């Protein structure tokens, strides 16, 4: 069987071959070898390899939790054997664009919590920032080491054309998924060593040591002499990303702590150890702002550490990511990122935003209501692919119901055009078929600048025709190969 | 090491060890219930004593009532009942939860041995565990726990984490040996039988078998099974790896190692040393004079206090 686009070719956009939108030859070339391999390898052998991969994931325990849906509370994320390929040339453009974006986001966060020049200059409406739930007045005027706010950022990209990557959203609070990037590669190396070496794939394995270096570079001003002590703070085993937390702590060689393991004394943070209290300097926290310190934020939280924010304000501990970064990945603030790049860096953005309309503006709102059948409409505060309307895939009745929601609270909704997303060949029951993908590269920002490993997490919509790649919505993952050439 | 990590490692080992010993308690009950005289009485005493030894008699009665003591219900309660916090199933569940919390502190062999035990346990339907399947199940549990201990022994760095694994194992095992030995006290010898008679001997032999000490007893004593010899063997003989003195010796050794490593001593060290000395210089005739059951009850209490002190010193 020719395994290429033989299944699921119902809709015209499904028939596209890998990473192909309008100018296929160039992009397809990168897939030539994979294509030959897929064509030569019998389907049952591919399915066998897929089951082998699943056994590996299950045995290593690479799981994620899904809440409130019953069934297996520890699932493995579906893994697709066919890698997603990014050429060296494409990567160099992408990585420059990503670094530029993250530098601007950090400049924005520094500005917002200090001089607020961008608001004074009228580039972003002040109300949109200062009355936003993501803006934390507790952070106003607080100096953070190296002026770094988002030490770890995950930027979601989609591709629509040979040279067109769009930024779908910025994740600058506690982005997850990097462990899949690393484990996917590990599993591919076990299953297909020859294929990997034939492609000259650039390695990603040094991510944990880069992360550790990044964290150590932003040690707090008032730390004890010697090596800084780094810990990773997790909400615990019931968190959906718990596997990732253990994985990263393990790979970095740092303690994985939960709130009750830490305590604050004289504005310094300590962990409880079998040898007595031990001072902590840098906390890579994977719990949300609201749960960090019950004395400052939610008093009912058991996850955090009482007094942590005082220690933070006193410059005795660094939190990564910083508190209050949520303002920068707000869906409305997103629309201003290109303006931030021009304002802070004096450069033109290298990566595009998806053109976004905000229903809080009356002319935008009118347009959105008139074009519901062609737009994707999202709640400003929504996430995980929940509560959105995918216009072209919706019924008249769904559109009408959604229109009522928009009219009731217009400022809560944004709308974007449905993009002609690229697809990648993906192994499904019937064979190899194109499925939509996105890409989340992970950026690290330390006192000495921005770095990123060549790769990221490729998520794939496993359902035919689906544009939604979220793991909570039945999406899977692929290994992402950035080629040396 | 984080106190919580040490705590999870300690309880992980205790839970695994307890799962094995619960299997041994069921096995002892099962063997005794096979005797003809017991069968005539419905095996009431054996299964009742198994509940008492496992420390779950109260919970069982609350669930099933006073008159419900039979093999099927007792085995189900001790082995599989999720509402019984110290059933074998609960122990495996707890051990796996402990292990998940501290995966980074475990070797992959340890994690995989626990994780696959847990996965296989979830596939077992208690309704299938009858007749010969009961012994197969009990053997399987013992085998899985042995695999876990072996993987810890064979793969862990000899550091404080290893010391907490050993502490958990031996604190739990001491408690369990005392309880298994106490099974005999809780069984009334049928009225027509005499002390030292065939049934009495069979019961003592069942105790020995349940701690895998049947052959080593004969190898060491080269005589028939006598109650005071069984007691001496399981309480005072340091060669026997499940005896009380062997367990306390190991606890004392590991605590001593930690004291040197961390440079501080606390109440747990004093209690372990004292208990170890008392058992080392103990005599069987004194134990029987004071009453075997009373002696064992006292040991179980002191062992529990020692565990509390370990908890206070290192684990919280």
**pLDDT tens digits, one per residue of A244-253:** 998 999 899 9
Can you read off the two tokens belonging to residue A13?
């956009």
Half-sphere exposure of A125 (CA within 13 A, CB side): 9
CA distance B176 to A194: 54
Tell me the mean pLDDT in the region A6-19: 38
Can you read off the two tokens belonging to residue A87?
């050429």
Find, among A384, A408, A393, the residue nearest to A469 by Cα.
A384
What distances in angstroms separate CA A273 from CA A127, A406, B105, B316, one per listed residue? 46, 53, 14, 8
Tell me the mean pLDDT in the region B144-161: 96
* CA-based nearest distance A390→chain B, Å: 39
A55-73: buried (b, 16+ CB within 10 Å) or exposed (e) per residue? ebbeebbbbbeeeeeeeee
CA distance B214 to B233: 11
Q: What are phi and psi of B211, to 5 degrees?
A: -105, 25
CA distance A49 to A432: 14
The pLDDT of residue A404: 92
* CA-based nearest distance B222→chain A, Å: 46
CB contact under 8 A, B258 and A255: no
Can you read off the two tokens belonging to residue A15?
């028939």
Burial category of A447 from C-beta neighbours within 10 Å (exposed 0-12, middle 13-18, buried 19 and up): middle
Residue of A nearest to B99 (CA): A237
Q: Helix A242-252 to helix A178-191 angle, to the nearest 10 degrees?
A: 80
CB pairs under 8 A between A and B: 47
Q: Which residue reads 């010993």 in tokens?
A: B21
The residue among A331 and A322 whose pLDDT is bigger is A322
* CA-based nearest distance B104→chain A, Å: 6
| pLDDT interval class at A15 (50, 70, 90) | very low
Q: Which residues of A touch B315 (CB under 8 A)?
A: 274
Are the beta carbons of A254 and A238 closer than 8 angstroms?
A: no
| pLDDT interval class at B73 (50, 70, 90) | very high
Residue of B nearest to A253 (CA): B104
Determine the residue among B2, B254, B264 to mutate to test chain A binding: the one whose Cβ has the most chain A Cβ atoms within 10 Å. B2
- Condensed to tens digits (0 to 9), the pLDDT of residues A132-160 reads 989 999 999 999 999 999 999 999 999 88
Q: Which residues of A touch B115 (CB under 8 A)?
A: 59, 61
CA distance A124 to A315: 30
CB contact under 8 A, A61 and B160: no
- Condensed to tens digits (0 to 9), the pLDDT of residues B215-235 reads 899 888 988 888 889 999 999
Burial category of A469 from C-beta neighbours within 10 Å (exposed 0-12, middle 13-18, buried 19 and up): buried
Q: Which residues of A touch B1 (CB under 8 A)?
A: 273-275
| pLDDT interval class at B204 (50, 70, 90) | confident
State whether residue A483 is helix, strand or coil.
strand
pLDDT exceeds 60 at position B38: no
| pTM (two decimals) | 0.79
Q: What angle do CA A253, A258, A262 make, to 5 degrees?
A: 95
Q: Which residue reads 């591709």 in tokens?
A: A159
| pLDDT interval class at A35 (50, 70, 90) | confident
Quote the distance between the C-alpha of residue A5 and its chain's center: 29
CA distance B219 to B230: 13
* CA-based nearest distance A307→chain B, Å: 20
Can you read off the two tokens belonging to residue B29?
């009950």
Can you read off the two tokens belonging to residue A11?
């809709």
Q: Across the interface, which of B103, B258, B314 has its CB nearest the CB of A246? A: B103
Helical H segments across A232-279, by residue range: 242-252
Q: What angle do CA A441, A445, A450 make, to 5 degrees?
A: 75
A150-166: buried (b, 16+ CB within 10 Å) or exposed (e) per residue? bbbbbbbbbbbbbeebb
In the 8-state DSSP scheme, what is residue A300? T
Q: Across the interface, which of A59, A61, A272 has its CB nearest the CB of B2? A: A272
| pLDDT interval class at B188 (50, 70, 90) | low
Instruction: State what percent of residues in chain B have pLDDT above 70.
Output: 94
Q: What is the largest CA-CA distance in chain B?
A: 60
* CA-based nearest distance A33→chain B, Å: 36
Instruction: State what percent of residues in chain B have pLDDT above 90.
Output: 66
Q: Which residue reads 């950022």 in tokens?
A: A153
Residue of A nearest to B310 (CA): A274
CA distance A422 to A427: 16
Burial category of A405 from C-beta neighbours within 10 Å (exposed 0-12, middle 13-18, buried 19 and up): middle
Q: What is the mean pLDDT of chain B?
A: 90
Show Cβ contacts of residue B120 under 8 Å, excluding neighbours closer than 6 positions. Answer: B144
CA distance A208 to A319: 18
State whether residue A452 is helix, strand or coil.
strand
Instruction: Tell me whether B312 touches chain A (CB under 8 Å).
Output: no
CB contact under 8 A, A275 and B97: no
State whether residue A297 is helix, strand or coil.
coil
CA distance A280 to B123: 43
What distances in angstroms separate CA B96 from CA A63, A235, A263, B16, B117, one per listed residue? 15, 18, 27, 9, 9
Q: What is the mean pLDDT of chain A?
A: 87
What is the Cα Rg of chain B in Å? Answer: 19
CA distance A11 to A92: 33
pLDDT exceeds 50 at position A48: yes
Find, among A213, A260, A253, the residue nearest to A233 by Cα.
A260
- Condensed to tens digits (0 to 9), the pLDDT of residues B164-184 reads 999 999 999 999 999 888 877
CA distance B100 to B115: 9
Residue of B nearest to A237 (CA): B101
The residue among A182 and B69 whose pLDDT is bigger is A182
Q: Which residues of B touch A273 (CB under 8 A)?
A: 1-3
Q: Across the interface, which of B4, B104, B160 has its CB nearest the CB of A258? A: B4
- Condensed to tens digits (0 to 9), the pLDDT of residues B275-300 reads 999 999 999 999 988 889 899 999 99
- Condensed to tens digits (0 to 9), the pLDDT of residues A78-115 reads 889 999 999 999 999 999 999 999 999 999 999 999 99
Q: Which helix (H) or strand (E) holds A437?
A: strand A431-440
Show Cβ contacts of residue A442 under 8 Å, excluding neighbours closer than 6 positions. Answer: A152, A153, A154, A175, A177, A178, A181, A207, A452, A453, A456, A457
Q: Across the interface, which of A237, A250, A274 has its CB nearest the CB of B3? A: A274
Bridge partners, residue A483, by sequence: A201
Q: What are phi and psi of B264, to 5 degrees?
A: -150, 145
CB contact under 8 A, A274 and B2: yes
CA distance B17 to B250: 15
CA dihedral A70, A76, A77, A82 (to 10 degrees): -140
- Own/partner pairs, B214-221, CB within 8 angstroms, 24+ separation: B216/B240
Are the beta carbons of B148 and B99 closer than 8 angstroms?
A: no
Tell me the mean pLDDT in the region B305-314: 96
Question: Where does A274-422 show beta strands of DSSP type E?
Answer: 276-279, 282-285, 318-320, 352-353, 357-358, 375-379, 389-390, 413-417
Are the beta carbons of B88 and B21 closer than 8 angstroms?
A: no
Q: Which residue reads 């296929």 in tokens?
A: A24
- Condensed to tens digits (0 to 9), the pLDDT of residues A365-422 reads 999 999 999 999 988 876 656 678 888 888 999 999 999 999 998 988 999 998 877 7
pLDDT exceeds 50 at position B199: yes
The pLDDT of residue B31: 83
ipTM, two decimals, is: 0.74
CA distance A289 to B225: 67
Find, among A443, A470, A441, the residue nearest to A456 by Cα.
A441
Q: Please state whether A463 falls in left (phi above 0), alpha (psi between -120 and 50) or beta.
A: beta
CA distance A249 to A9: 43
The pLDDT of residue B271: 98
Q: How many CB atoms lie within 10 A of CB A191?
A: 15
Q: Under an 8 Å CB criterion, which residues of A touch B?
A: 59, 61, 236-237, 242, 246, 249-250, 255-258, 260-261, 271-276
State whether residue A262 is helix, strand or coil.
strand
Show Cβ contacts of residue A104 under 8 Å, excluding neighbours closer than 6 positions. Answer: A337, A340, A341, A344, A345
């Amino acid at each position: 069987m020719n395994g290429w686009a033989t299944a699921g070719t119902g809709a015209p956009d499904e028939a596209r071959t890998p990473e192909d939108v309008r100018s296929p030859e160039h992009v397809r070339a990168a897939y030539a070898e994979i294509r030959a391999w897929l064509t030569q390898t019998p389907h049952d052998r591919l399915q066998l390899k897929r089951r082998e991969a699943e056994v590996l994931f299950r045995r290593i325990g690479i799981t994620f939790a899904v809440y409130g849906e019953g069934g297996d509370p520890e699932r493995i994320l579906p893994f697709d054997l066919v890698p997603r390929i990014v050429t060296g040339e494409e990567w160099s453009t992408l990585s420059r664009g990503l670094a530029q974006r993250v530098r601007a986001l950090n400049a924005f966060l520094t500005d917002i919590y200090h001089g607020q020049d961008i608001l004074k200059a009228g580039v972003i409406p002040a109300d949109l920032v200062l009355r936003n739930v993501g803006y934390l007045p507790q952070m106003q005027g607080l100096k953070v080491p190296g002026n770094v706010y988002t030490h770890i950022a995950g930027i979601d990209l989609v591709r629509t054309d040979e040279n067109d990557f769009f930024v779908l959203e910025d994740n600058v609070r506690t982005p997850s998924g990097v462990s899949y990037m690393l484990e996917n590669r590990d599993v591919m190396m076990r299953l297909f060593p020859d294929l990997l070496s034939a492609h000259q794939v650039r390695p990603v394995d040094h991510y944990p040591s880069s992360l550790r270096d990044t964290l150590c570079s932003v040690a707090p001003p008032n730390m004890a002499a010697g090596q800084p002590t780094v810990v990773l703070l997790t909400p615990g085993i019931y968190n959906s990303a718990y596997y990732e937390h253990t994985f990263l702590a393990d790979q970095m060689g740092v303690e994985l702590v939960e709130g009750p393991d830490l305590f604050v004394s004289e504005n310094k943070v300590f962990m409880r150890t079998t040898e007595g209290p031990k001072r902590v300097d840098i906390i890579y926290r994977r719990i949300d702002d609201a749960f960090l310190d019950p004395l400052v934020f939610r008093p009912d939280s058991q996850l955090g550490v009482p007094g942590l924010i005082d220690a933070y304000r006193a410059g005795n501990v660094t939190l990564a990511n910083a508190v209050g970064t949520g303002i920068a990945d707000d869906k409305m603030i997103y629309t201003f990122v290109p303006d931030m790049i021009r304002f802070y860096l004096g450069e033109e953005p290298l990566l595009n935003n998806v053109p976004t309309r905000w229903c809080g503006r009356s002319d935008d709102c009118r347009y959105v209501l008139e074009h519901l059948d062609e737009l994707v409409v999202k709640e400003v505060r929504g996430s995980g692919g929940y509560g959105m309307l995918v216009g072209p895939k919706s019924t008249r009745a769904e559109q009408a119901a959604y229109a009522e929601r928009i009219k009731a609270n217009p400022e809560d909704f944004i709308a974007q055009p449905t993009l002609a997303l690229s697809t990648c060949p993906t192994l499904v029951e019937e064979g190899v078929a194109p499925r939509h993908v996105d890409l989340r590269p992970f950026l690290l920002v330390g006192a000495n600048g921005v770095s990123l490993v060549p790769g990221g997490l490729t998520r794939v919509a496993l359902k035919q025709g689906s544009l939604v790649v979220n793991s909570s919505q039945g999406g899977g993952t692929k290994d992402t190969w950035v080629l040396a050439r | 090491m984080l106190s919580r990590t040490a705590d999870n490692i300690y309880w992980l080992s205790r839970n695994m060890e307890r799962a094995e010993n619960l299997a041994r308690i069921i096995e002892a009950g099962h063997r005794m219930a096979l005797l003809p005289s017991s069968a005539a009485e419905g095996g009431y005493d054996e299964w009742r004593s198994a509940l008492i030894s496992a420390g779950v008699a109260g919970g069982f009665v609350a669930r099933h009532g006073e008159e419900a003591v039979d093999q099927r219900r007792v085995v189900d309660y001790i082995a599989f009942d999720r509402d019984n916090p110290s059933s074998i199933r609960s122990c495996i569940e707890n051990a796996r939860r402990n292990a998940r919390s501290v995966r980074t502190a475990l070797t992959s062999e340890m994690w995989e041995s626990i994780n696959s035990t847990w996965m296989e346990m979830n596939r077992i339907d208690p309704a299938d565990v009858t007749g010969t399947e009961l012994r197969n199940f009990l053997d399987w549990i013992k085998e899985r726990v042995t695999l876990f201990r072996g993987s810890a022994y064979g793969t862990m760095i000899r550091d404080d984490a290893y010391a907490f694994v050993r502490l958990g194992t031996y604190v739990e095992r001491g408690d369990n040996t005392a309880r298994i030995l106490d099974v005999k006290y809780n069984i009334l010898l049928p009225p027509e039988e005499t002390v030292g008679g065939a049934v009495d001997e069979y019961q003592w032999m069942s105790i020995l078998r349940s701690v895998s000490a049947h052959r080593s007893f004969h190898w060491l004593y080269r005589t028939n099974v006598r109650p005071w010899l069984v007691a001496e063997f399981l309480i005072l003989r340091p060669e026997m790896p499940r005896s009380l003195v062997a367990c306390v010796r190991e606890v004392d050794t590991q605590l001593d190692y930690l004291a040197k490593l961390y440079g501080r001593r606390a109440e747990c060290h004093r209690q372990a040393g004292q208990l170890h000395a008392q058992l080392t210089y103990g005599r069987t005739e004194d134990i029987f004079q004071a009453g075997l059951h009373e002696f064992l009850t006292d040991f179980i209490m002191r062992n529990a206090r020692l565990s509390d002190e370990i908890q206070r010193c290192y684990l919280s």
